[in-house]
A = this chain, B = another copy of it.
Amino acid sequence: MARVVVDVMPKQEILDPQGQAVAGALPRLGFEGVASIRQGKHFELEVDDSVDDATLERIAETLLANSVIEDWSIRREQS
């Protein structure tokens, strides 16, 4: 078994209303010094060793991310 992490983020040119809401709340809560914040999704998968990188790429592209508006990164973690 391997642990795989997939991070999905809105593309840079796509508006990120969730991140903007958080960024707007920070000064109201007294936190200064955060220039920008963007919010995406974080997936943690437990996969068999038979699952190769190409399969992980297809899983991310078809199910975890919307490739029109989101970028994603895949990394295997040390178990």
Q: Which A positions have Cβ atoms within 8 angstroms of B?
A: 1, 7-9, 19, 22, 25-26, 29, 31, 33-48, 50-51, 55, 58-59, 62-64
Contact = CB atoms under 8 A, between A and B. Distances in A.
Given A29-B63, A34-B48, A35-B48, 10 more contacts: A1-B35, A9-B42, A9-B44, A33-B50, A33-B55, A34-B59, A38-B44, A41-B41, A41-B42, A42-B42
A47 B35 contact: yes
A40 B5 CA distance: 11
19 contacts: A7-B42, A9-B42, A9-B44, A22-B43, A26-B59, A26-B63, A29-B62, A33-B47, A34-B45, A34-B47, A35-B46, A35-B47, A35-B48, A37-B44, A37-B45, A38-B43, A38-B44, A40-B44, A41-B41
